[in-house]
Amino acid sequence: MNAPSRRRLLLAVTLLATTGVRAQSPAPTGLPPELSGELPGARPLGSATLRFFGLRVYDARLWVGGQPPGADWVASPFALELLYARSLKGEQIAERSLVEMRRQGEIAEPVAERWLGNMKQLFPDVDAGDRITGVNLPGTGARFYVNGRLRGEPREADFARMFFGIWLSPRTSEPAMREQLLGLRPS
């Protein structure tokens, strides 16, 4: 079993062991209200669903305002919306995010600890139907909303690059999802 397959298996086992299976929530529709001021003229570029062993974890949509992100995707304003299909602990979301961020490049341990602490504050426990939206603020950082309410604004461009790289970097653990979000492959 290769390393990516082992990581997926470990995450799937963790998800299944720690979350309850809830009714499937519908796929997201319409512009999230918080984006009307964040991304003028926002439109969805692509969407994808993260599944483990056939179980839907979340639906994702990438929103853009003007030009779609290109090779230098972190330099573009965009928003990534995640609509959860099951209950997850916020602490586990934060910890898994840090693991995936480390795929983008090395993170010094003091920085990793600070980012993990920040993400534990940003990401609450979620239930099926809850929505977390992250907005990329090029050169500045990111802004996060939970169910349309502002949750926090980490002001570190490196954090934003590595966090959104979980889905958008060529180093992502889910390359097909990346292609769907960037509109390079049908959903």
pLDDT per position as a tens digit, 20-38: 333 333 444 689 999 998 9
SS3 177: helix
CA distance 64 to 68: 6
Mean pLDDT of 34-50: 93
* 42-51, 66-75, 84-93: least confident range: 66-75
Chain segment 140-186, per-residue pLDDT in tens: 999 999 999 999 999 999 999 999 999 999 999 999 999 999 988 87
Tell me the CB-side half-sphere exposure of residue 106, using CA atoms within 13 A: 2
pLDDT at 187: 67
The closest of 65, 71, 62 to 38, measured between CA atoms, is 65
Give CA 36 to chain center in angstroms.
19
Q: Which residue has the tokens 């060529």?
A: 170
Q: Where are the domains of the chain?
A: 3-181
Domain 3-181 has CATH 3.40.50.1000: no
Q: Which residues of 68-83 are buried (b: 16+ CB within 10 A; e: fewer)?
A: ebeeebbebbbbbbbb
In angstroms, rounded to a whole number, what is the distance separating the alpha carbons of residues 24 and 38?
Answer: 29
Q: What is the pLDDT of residue 52?
A: 83
Closest residue by Cα to residue 58 from 31, 24, 102: 24
pLDDT at 177: 97
pLDDT at 5: 44
Sign of CA dihedral 133, 52, 69, 76: positive
Q: What is the pLDDT of residue 26?
A: 40
Share of the chain above pLDDT 90, in %: 71
Q: Dump pLDDT digits (tens) for 8-24.
A: 433 443 433 333 333 33
Question: What is the per-residue pLDDT across 79-112, written as a single tens digit (0 to 9) for each?
Answer: 999 999 999 999 999 999 999 999 989 999 999 9
Angle at 184 between CA 180 and CA 185, to 5 degrees: 55
Distances in Å between the alpha carbon of 108 and those of 5, 102, 122? 26, 10, 21
pLDDT at 67: 73
